[in-house]
C-alpha cells in the first residue's frame, strides 16, 4: 500500500520518467517497489532491477525495429532451422551465429540447390545480428541491382554506397537466378568493393562459384568479385533434397530451373 509520501514519489517518478523518455519506468518502479519491500532488497538492488527492465525493454524494441527495417521475406530464425538435414554445416553455422563475423567485417556465402535452406539461414543470421544491435538490410540480387541502378542514374551512387556501409550486414539473396547486364555487374562489383574489409555481406546462390562468370557476364569481373568476397569469408555448401519437397515423393528438381520456380 503506497503511503502519502509514496504517492507523491510515484507522481514525481512519473514526471521524471517522462522527462527521461522512459515512461515504462513508472510502472516498473511501482511494481518492483512492492517486490523489493517484500523481499528486502537493498536500494541498489532495486535501482538496478528497475534500470535493467528498462534497458531490456529498449533492446527488445530496438531489435524488433531493426528486424522490421531489414526487409526479410519471412521471419526465420536459427532456432527453427533443423540441422539434421544439413549436419555438415552445423558446427560452422553455430560459430557464425555469435555474430563475431560482423565485427571482423567477414562475409558468408551460402551455396546449394533450391530449397536447402539458404534464404532461411541468411535470414536467421540477419535476425540474430539485428538482435545483437546491428543494422541489417535484406534484398535479392535483382532488388539490389535496381536500387544501385536508380542511385547511379541520379548521380548518387557514392552517397548510396556510403549509406549502405553504415549497415553492418547486407544480405544479397539469389545471386545467379538471373544473369546481370554488364552495367549491373559493374554496379554490383562496386557494392562488393565498397564493403570489402569494412562491413559484412551474406550472399546466397544456387550456383557454384564456377557458374558466376555466366551471371556477371564476364570472367574477369566475376573473378575480381569472388576474390574480394571470399578473401575473408565462410563458404557454406548446403546439400541434399529440397526441404520444401520433403515427403512428397519428389527427390530432386530438374537441374535447369526456370525463373518462375525461383522462390
- Which residues of this protein are in contact with ligand ADP, per CB under 6 A? 76, 80-82, 85-86, 112, 114-120, 243-244
Q: At what angle do helices 182-195 and 219-231 cross, to 10 degrees?
A: 20
DSSP code for 202: E
String marking each residue 107-136 x if it binds Mg ion according to CB under 5 A: ------------x-----------------
CB of 28 to Mg ion, least distance (A): 42
Q: Whole-angstrom Cα distance, residue 89 to residue 80? A: 15
- Cβ proximity to ligand ADP: between 86 and 200 the closer is 86
- Cβ proximity to ligand ADP: between 73 and 217 the closer is 73
Q: At what angle do helices 157-165 and 182-195 cross, to 10 degrees?
A: 40
CB of 112 to ligand ADP, least distance (A): 6
- Cβ proximity to ligand ADP: between 28 and 119 the closer is 119
CB of 118 to Mg ion, least distance (A): 5
- Cβ proximity to Mg ion: between 73 and 217 the closer is 73
Q: Whole-angstrom Cα distance, residue 137 to residue 107? A: 14
Q: Whole-angstrom Cα distance, residue 139 to residue 174? A: 9
* Cα–Cα distances in angstroms (integers) from residue 3 to residues 9, 34, 40, in the given order: 9, 12, 18
Q: Whole-angstrom Cα distance, residue 187 to residue 157? A: 9
Q: Whole-angstrom Cα distance, residue 60 to residue 54? A: 10
The partner in contact with residue 176, picked from ligand ADP, Mg ion, none with C-beta cut-offs of 5 to 8 angstroms by kind, is: none
Footprint on residues 193-232 left by Mg ion (CB under 5 A): none
The partner in contact with residue 114, picked from ligand ADP, Mg ion, none with C-beta cut-offs of 5 to 8 angstroms by kind, is: ligand ADP
- How many of the chain's residues bind Mg ion (CB under 5 A)? 1
Which cell numbers in the block locate residue 7? Answer: 504517492
Continuous H helices in 108-180 = 118-131, 141-153, 157-165
Which cell numbers in the block locate residue 159? Answer: 552517397
The partner in contact with residue 85, picked from Mg ion, ligand ADP, none with C-beta cut-offs of 5 to 8 angstroms by kind, is: ligand ADP
* Binding of residue 140 to Mg ion (CB under 5 A): no
CB of 187 to Mg ion, least distance (A): 22
The partner in contact with residue 117, picked from ligand ADP, Mg ion, none with C-beta cut-offs of 5 to 8 angstroms by kind, is: ligand ADP
| Three-class secondary structure of residue 114 per DSSP | coil
The partner in contact with residue 31, picked from ligand ADP, Mg ion, none with C-beta cut-offs of 5 to 8 angstroms by kind, is: none
CB of 95 to ligand ADP, least distance (A): 18
What is the torsional sign of CA 190, 193, 194, 195? Answer: positive
Amino acid at each position: 500500500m503506497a503511503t502519502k509520501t509514496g504517492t507523491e514519489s510515484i507522481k514525481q517518478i512519473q514526471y521524471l520518467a517522462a522527462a527521461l523518455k522512459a515512461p515504462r519506468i513508472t510502472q516498473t518502479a511501482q511494481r518492483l517497489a512492492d517486490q523489493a519491500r517484500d523481499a528486502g532488497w537493498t536500494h541498489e538492488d532495486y535501482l538496478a532491477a528497475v534500470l535493467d527492465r528498462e534497458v531490456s525493454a529498449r533492446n527488445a524494441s530496438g531489435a524488433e525495429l531493426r528486424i522490421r527495417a531489414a526487409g526479410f521475406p519471412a521471419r526465420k530464425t536459427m532456432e527453427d532451422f533443423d540441422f539434421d538435414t544439413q549436419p555438415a554445416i552445423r558446427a560452422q553455422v553455430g560459430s557464425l551465429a555469435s555474430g563475431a563475423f560482423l565485427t571482423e567485417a567477414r562475409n558468408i556465402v551460402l551455396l546449394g540447390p533450391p530449397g536447402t535452406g539458404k534464404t532461411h539461414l541468411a535470414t536467421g543470421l540477419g535476425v540474430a545480428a539485428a538482435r545483437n544491435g546491428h543494422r541489417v538490410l535484406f534484398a535479392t540480387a535483382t532488388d539490389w541491382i535496381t536500387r544501385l541502378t536508380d542511385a547511379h542514374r541520379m548521380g548518387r551512387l557514392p552517397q548510396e554506397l556510403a549509406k549502405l556501409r553504415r549497415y553492418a550486414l547486407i544480405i544479397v539473396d539469389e545471386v545467379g537466378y538471373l544473369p546481370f547486364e554488364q552495367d549491373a555487374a559493374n554496379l554490383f562489383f562496386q557494392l562488393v568493393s565498397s564493403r570489402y574489409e569494412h562491413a559484412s555481406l551474406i550472399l546466397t546462390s544456387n550456383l557454384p562459384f564456377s557458374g558466376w562468370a555466366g551471371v556477371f557476364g564476364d570472367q574477369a569481373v566475376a573473378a575480381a568479385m569472388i576474390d574480394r568476397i571470399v578473401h575473408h569469408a565462410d563458404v557454406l555448401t548446403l546439400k541434399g533434397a529440397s526441404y520444401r519437397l520433403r515427403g512428397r515423393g519428389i527427390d530432386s528438381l530438374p537441374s535447369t530451373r526456370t525463373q518462375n520456380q525461383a522462390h
